[in-house]
Amino acid sequence: MDINALYNEWLEKAVGDPDLKEELESIKGKDDEILDRFYRSLEFGTAGLRGVIGAGTNRMNIYTVGRATQGLSDFLNKNYENPSIAIGYDSRIKSDYFSKEAASILAANGIKVYIYEELEPTPCLSYAIRYFGTSSGIILTASHNPAKYNGYKCYNPKGYQMTDEEAAETYDFIQKVDYFTGIKKTDFDEAVKSGMIEYIGDEVINSFLDEVQKQCVNPELVKKADLKVIYTPLNGTGNKPVRAILDRIGIDKVYVVPEQEKPDGNFPTCPFPNPEIKQVFEIGLEMNKNIGADILLATDPDCDRVGIAVPDKSGELVLMSGNEVGAMLLNYLLSEKKAKGILPESAIAVKSFVSTDLAEVIAKKYNCTFKNLLTGFKYIGELITNLESEGRADDFVMGFEESYGYLAGTHARDKDAVVASMLICEMAAFYKLKNMNLVDVMNSLYDEFGYYSNVVESYTFEGAAGMEKMANIMETLRENPLKMIGGLHVTAVSDYKTSVTVYNDGSVSAIDLPKSNVLAFELEKGNKVIVRPSGTEPKIKAYITAIGDSKASADEMAKKLIAAADVFMK
């Protein structure tokens, strides 16, 4: 591949967006800058596309979006008679622009398009797919990434992200499309007039909220608790639907962080709009000095994940992890449904296999079947769909991932911060009436089941060299399996790429999950280290599980395991 020839072609032909022309002119003669933009095409995987906004094959722009959409159109026309699609978008830079570009291409290919009139959460896109019975769906979002990123995620007719097979076939079509000459396109407004593009109305949003509201377990108690909530949508899509659902269940004291209320893809007060990090709560924490809230909520820009901060008995605000919230929500739903006599006999709960094992122990107490699945909420969506096909949809209690993604109910097949925000507030109200805050609740679970310290360490590897480095690290760990980590013996190594677990006594067992580039090291006394390259970011993540009789002992073990991970990530 001649990088300079590719650059010159784009310099000549990329005239559809003036921003691209200006950027390409600015990097003339800068070999490193040109290489970074053109050394590869953005990879289309099961999560679709994700990358920095800008010019080049390795960037998010109207040509990379257009090429992907043309390939998707070809895939849909091959596999469906009279295909249709739903499209949503978030507040990110050019999300609305890219969504209309995609709609115009799909319409030109004879595919009926349903598109949200304004930005909406990702779970609303999942809901719309099933509401309209479309063949596919697209959401323009880069979730919690910094402002320079955008993304393009594709869904299947079931309402969850494409399977590996569907994505691979779509990618085959994409690769045949020329960026500049291979894309069909029609005028957006004309397609709206002809009915090929149809706006999604308020009735769909209201229907979505109706389904969310059905997941309340103790709706009559919420008003009694007089809960005070500080909420930040982090300049994203959650503002309207989260406030609407909290109002519906009787929470009228909701204080929205004004600097982070309106949609803004620049995220001026939170450069990393990720509810996993403390920084996004800082303005809300300052607000709380005059409010004295019971809970702070933060949803990410596409409102599929939510983080919380709650005051302990001393009034100090504590950020709670995704693992802790997932464990508390599961315990709350199971215990209250059992108390009310509405817990199904064949209840089932699920999590990603890198999330806390505490959830599995809680489920066992209530005779709830528990499943561990690969990371990626599509696997949870697939499980729900299979339950539905068996007439067992009501058996699904909830699913979660440690990265702050939760789903109760079957209205969506992706994580949903709208229903999660509602249930977290309901749970906080329930325990407030018992004179407990959520820190107390979490500590009571640790007292009952043991202390679990779950930590995720991320190691970033930028650019072309970084991709090679990531591959080398995983290869080294496979070829030279670790025998000790943090002073603990490795009792088993699970390689999800080969679907095999090898135990330290030499025995072997099969892993009954789809193949994935993941290595899990099981250690003595239930401790664990899982190593997984991110599918959407230039990172390798190490998921640490440390178990102890006390917070101090578990945290100390977690530090040892992190230090060991730091060494083999170099």
Give the active site residues: 143
Q: Which of 232, 60, 234 is nearest to 148 (CA)?
A: 60
C-alpha–C-alpha distance, residues 501 and 520, integer Å: 9
Q: Are 506 and 525 in contact (CB under 8 A)?
A: no
Closest by Cα among 566, 299, 246, 278 to 422: 246
Structure tokens at 536: 């959407």
State the Cα–Cα distance between residues 204 and 195, nearest whole angstrom.
18
- Rounded Cα distance between 294 and 284, Å, is 12
Contact 318, 296 (CB under 8 A): no
Radius of gyration of the chain (CA): 24
d(CA 61, CA 59): 6
Residue 65's nearest CA partner among 50, 47, 78 is 50
Q: How far apart are CA 328 and CA 119, in angstroms?
A: 31
Contact 122, 349 (CB under 8 A): no
Exposure of 422 in the CB half-sphere (CA atoms within 13 A)? 29
Please tell me the distance from the alpha carbon of residue 234 to that of residue 222, in angstroms, as a whole number.
25
Three-state secondary-structure class, residue 73: helix
List the beta bridge partners of residue 509. Answer: 501
Helices (H), 433-505: 438-449, 463-479
